[in-house]
Amino acid sequence: MSYPVDGIVFDLDGTVYLGNAALPGSVDGIAELRRRGKKTLFVTNKPLEPREAYAAKLIRLGIPAEPDDVITSAYVLGHHLARVHPELRYYVIGEESLRQELRGHGLTIVDELWDQDEKEVLDVTGIDAVIVAFDRTLDYRKLNTAYQALLQGAYFFATNADKACPMPGGSIPDAGATIAALEQITGRTLDLLAGKPSAIIMEVALARLGCPAARAMMVGDRLETDMLMGRQAGMLTAAVLTGAATRTEAEALAHPPTFILDNIGALPSLID
C-alpha cells in the first residue's frame, strides 16, 4: 500500500545529515521525491544559525536548497511573535544570530542592562517578555535579568527546549538547561515553546508547504519530538533509523510511525 503525499517535512540532524556528512539515501531520496513533484521543507530546533547557513550546508552536501526551504526554531518564534505580540519589548538569552533573526521580524530587542550591577536586584522596567534559547555565552547577568523580569510578570518564551546538544565526543547544555533553571527559581513555567515538539512549528511548516496535514509527512529520527508532533498535527510520519531511535523503540510506541525506515532512500517507493 502506498500513501498519497504532496509535501514532506524533514528533520535535519540525524535524518538528512550527521555532522558534516549526508546520511545514506538522503541526497538521492530527496532528489527523487522532488523529481516527482513533492514539496520539501527542512526543520531544525537549533536557533544558532540563520536559515541561509542551513541552506548553504544542504547545497554543500548535494541537496539544492533556498533559505525559504528551511525553518528554524528561531525563525518560527520570530514569525509567530510578530503576529501575536509585535508590541512587546523582548529580553533575549541567546546568541547574536537569534537577536538578528528576531529583529528581522520587526521585534524590539532590549539591550543588556549594562548601567546596573548584575550582582544586585536589577530594575527590569521595560522588559515585557523573556526569550530563552541555546546560548553558549550565558552568564550571571543574563540569568539575573531574566529572573527579575519573570518575577515581575514578563512573558516566558523559548525557541527550543532541548536539554543537551549532541556534539562530536558527547553533548553540551542546550536551552532546556536554562529553561529548567528559570522555572525552578521562579516557580513559572514556559508560556510558549516555538520549536519541536510544539504545534507552532508544524503550523508554520504546513503553511509553507501549502498542503493539508493529511497529505503531508513528517520525517525524522526522534520519536519524542519529530514523530509526536507529526502525528499530533495529523500528518503521516516516517521514522528513520539513522539517528536517535531504534526500530525496537519505534515499534514499541503506543502510536507507531506510519513507516519505520532504514533511511530516507526507502521513502520514494512508499508514497504516491
The residues of the shown chain that bind Mg ion, judged by CB under 5 A, are 11, 13-14, 221, 243
Residue 219 · residue 11 · CB < 8 Å: yes
CA distance 34 to 26: 12
> What's the closest the beta carbon of residue 168 comes to Mg ion, in angstroms?
16
Task: Return the SS3 of 31.
Answer: helix
> What's the closest the beta carbon of residue 257 comes to Mg ion, in angstroms?
14
CA distance 7 to 89: 36
Considering the complex, state which of residue 11 and residue 135 has its C-beta at the smaller distance from Mg ion: 11
Considering the complex, state which of residue 27 and residue 227 has its C-beta at the smaller distance from Mg ion: 227
Locate 39 and state its grid cell.
514539496
> What's the closest the beta carbon of residue 45 comes to Mg ion, in angstroms?
8
Query: What's the burial of 170, exposed, middle or buried (CB within 10 Å: 0-12/13-18/19+)?
Result: exposed
Considering the complex, state which of residue 90 and residue 265 has its C-beta at the smaller distance from Mg ion: 265
Select the residue whose beta carbon is closest to Mg ion and give its number. Answer: 14
Strands 170-173 and 164-167: antiparallel
> What's the closest the beta carbon of residue 13 comes to Mg ion, in angstroms?
4
Residue 45 · residue 162 · CB < 8 Å: yes
CA dist 134 to 98, 124, 153, 179, 254, Å? 9, 22, 22, 10, 31
Considering the complex, state which of residue 69 and residue 221 has its C-beta at the smaller distance from Mg ion: 221
> What's the closest the beta carbon of residue 58 comes to Mg ion, in angstroms?
14
Locate 88 and state its grid cell.
512587546
Locate 182 and state its grid cell.
528559570
Considering the complex, state which of residue 130 and residue 165 has its C-beta at the smaller distance from Mg ion: 165
Considering the complex, state which of residue 155 and residue 243 has its C-beta at the smaller distance from Mg ion: 243
> What's the closest the beta carbon of residue 43 comes to Mg ion, in angstroms?
9
